[in-house]
Amino acid sequence: MSQYYEGIGRRKESTARVRLMEGSGQFVVNGKTLEEYFTRLGDVESILLAFKALGENRSRYDVSVLVKGGGVTGQTEAVRLGLARAFVKMNPDYTPALRQHGLLTRDARVKERKKPGLKRARKAPTYTKR
């Protein structure tokens, strides 16, 4: 087995473990191709932004992703962050280019917990005078 670089990306409830290695351009997400797994318009382009930012050819690398939890948006952004982090492990000189495109910034926003006496995190029950 050849040398691979791993990057872990997280967003909301999603976690993606991304393995990047020299290869033939295969991009596998949970056993499916990238296009099969992420069918929503714009998601694939969002994930592949790291290749575009670096001017790298996608066909030079094999990418293997294991993504768990959350929804489609969370998983997309987790994979994008994981891929960018794997590129930085491979070559630290890539950091400025990826940072410029905002690919190394972890979006820490998560769902706020529900508080007692409220319907949701902040929504209070309707006030009634009688």
Domains of the chain: which residue ranges?
4-100
- Check if the beta carbon of residue 52 is closer than 8 Å to that of residue 94: no
In this predicted structure, what is the pLDDT of residue 69?
Answer: 96
Residue whose entry in the numeric block shows the structure tokens 């007692």: 116
Instruction: Check whether 53 has a pLDDT greater than 90.
Output: yes
In this predicted structure, what is the pLDDT of residue 13?
Answer: 96
Average per-residue pLDDT for the chain: 95
Average pLDDT, stretch 113-117?
A: 96
CA distances from 3 to 21, 34, 80 (A): 6, 22, 21
How many other C-beta atoms lie within 10 A of the C-beta of residue 14? 21
What kind and span of H or E run contains 10?
strand 4-11
In this predicted structure, what is the pLDDT of residue 130?
Answer: 87
Instruction: Check whether 56 has a pLDDT greater than 90.
Output: no
Instruction: Evaluate if pTM is beyond 0.75.
Output: yes
Instruction: Check whether 1 has a pLDDT greater than 80.
Output: no
Alpha-carbon span 30 to 51, nearest angstrom: 20
In this predicted structure, what is the pLDDT of residue 123?
Answer: 96
Instruction: Check whether 113 has a pLDDT greater than 80.
Output: yes
The matching CATH number, chosen from 3.30.465.10, 2.40.10.10, 3.40.50.11540, 3.30.230.10, for 4-100 is: 3.30.230.10
Q: Which of 111, 106, 109 is nearest to 10 (CA)?
A: 106
Tens-place pLDDT, residues 60-78: 999 999 999 999 999 999 9
CA dihedral 71, 76, 77, 78 (to 10 degrees): 80
Structure tokens at 31: 């056993």
